[in-house]
Structure 1
Amino acid sequence: MSAFRGIWVALVTPFRDDEIDFPALQHLAGKLLDDGVRGLVVCGTSGEAAALSHAEQLAVLDAVLERVPADQVIMGLAGNNQRELLAFQQQIQQRALAGLLVPAPYYIRPSQAGLESFFQTVADAATVPVVLYDIPYRTGVRIERETIRRIVRHPRIAAVKDCGGDLDTTTALIADGNAEILTGEDLQIFNNLCLGGAGAISVSAHIRADLYVQMQRQVDNGELAAARATFYRLREWMQAAFCEPNPAPVKAALALQGLLVPDLRAPMQGCSVATRERLADVLAQLDLKPRI
Structure 2
Amino acid sequence: MPESPEVQALVEQLDERLAGCLIHSADLIEFRALKTRARPLSTLVGRAVTGARRFGKFVDLALEEAHLVVSLGRHGWVRWADTERGDDAGRGDDAERGDDAGRGDDAERGDDAAEVAADPPALASLTVDGSVVEFTDAGSWVSLGLWVVGYPGEVPGIAKLGPDPLDAAFSRVDVDRAVAHRRKQLKAILQEQESFAGIGNAYSDEILHRARLSPVAHGDTLTDDELERLFTAMRDELGEAVRARRGIPIDGLKQAKTDAMRVHGRGGEPCPVCGGIVEDFTFGGTTAQYCPVCQGAPSPKGAE
TM-score tier (shorter) = 0.3 to 0.5
Choose between structure 1 and 2: higher helix proportion: 1
Higher-Rg structure is 2
Relative to the length of structure 2, the TM-score reads 0.31
Relative to the length of structure 1, the TM-score reads 0.32
